[in-house]
Amino acid sequence: PPPPPPAPWGESPTMFCFLVALVMGNEPELLRRQLSAGSSIFGCDSYAIFSEQAMIIGPRAGKMVKSIEIGGPMHTSQSNTPDFIRAWTKIKELGLHKNSDWSVKVDPDAVFLPTVLRPKLAAHKVSTDSDMVFFKNCPKFKSMQGPLEVYSKAAALVFFDKLESCTGQDYMMQRGEDWFFHRCLERLHCRSIEDFELLDDQYCTDVEPSCTNGMAAFHPFKTVDAHVKCLETAKN
């Protein structure tokens, strides 16, 4: 069946969602399945995919969905901050974050349900134009885990504007992207909100997600079969 049309603008709150994907391995096929299901970032008001080389994901609403090339080499390990700096720089250049209430970064192997996240965000009653906030989503570490990073328009504006002030901090560059992003937001005086009902991440809980507890995202599901099974379980 043809993929569902893009989510209509005007749903409140609006979300710009993006991910950084490898062109090799199973991530392109995961993205194609997500596109066909209208799930993950494809259920957001606007979205973008970034990869080392431009790649075609598939058709949607009469157009071909393609990734935005950011060069490489890409990293599969925790030393992936340089990859995301290239993606963030492109987001800033294109202004992709400026028209949405929330920006949401997702991992390709996360099962993400925007229809679940949207009302959770609305319930916090954040004034996204003025409140520079982001969510801590892991109770074990009291941290923002990388599979689902959610931050307000005001936080996005200051982050992308002041990104270079963080890339010059050696201690921020020593670990993975989520470590860098969390510390940069704190350096820029963004306020954190704890919400542990957003993400079920095995790297936080040490337990494989059941996909039945009403979270907005579940991680990790690296094979297509496991990803589809979790998505169907979560939707039902």
pLDDT digit string, tens, across residues 41-100: 999 999 999 999 999 999 998 999 999 999 988 876 677 999 999 999 999 999 999 999
pTM of the model: 0.93
Q: Tell me phi and psi for residue 130, to 5 degrees.
A: -125, -25
| Cα gap 7→24, rounded to integer Å | 28
| Cα gap 86→163, rounded to integer Å | 11
* pLDDT of residue 12 exceeding 70: yes
| Cα gap 32→29, rounded to integer Å | 5
For CA atoms 117, 130, 98, 186, the dihedral sign is negative
pLDDT number for residue 75: 74
pLDDT number for residue 171: 80
pLDDT tens digit sequence for 165-218: 999 888 878 888 999 999 999 999 999 999 999 999 999 999 999 999 999 999
- pLDDT more than 70, % of the chain: 95
pLDDT number for residue 172: 79
Question: How far is CA 104 from each of CA 41, 76, 110, 121, 203, rounded to the nearest angstrom?
Answer: 9, 21, 12, 11, 19
List strand residue ranges (DSSP E) for 55-126, in order. Answer: 56-60, 63-66, 68-69, 102-106, 111-112
pLDDT number for residue 10: 52
pLDDT number for residue 137: 98
Average pLDDT, the chain: 93
> Is 154:108 a contact under the CB 8 Å cutoff?
no
> Is 3:60 a contact under the CB 8 Å cutoff?
yes
* pLDDT of residue 7 exceeding 50: no
Residue 111: partners with Cβ closer than 8 Å, 6 or more residues away: 39, 40, 209, 211, 217, 218, 219, 221, 227, 230, 231, 234
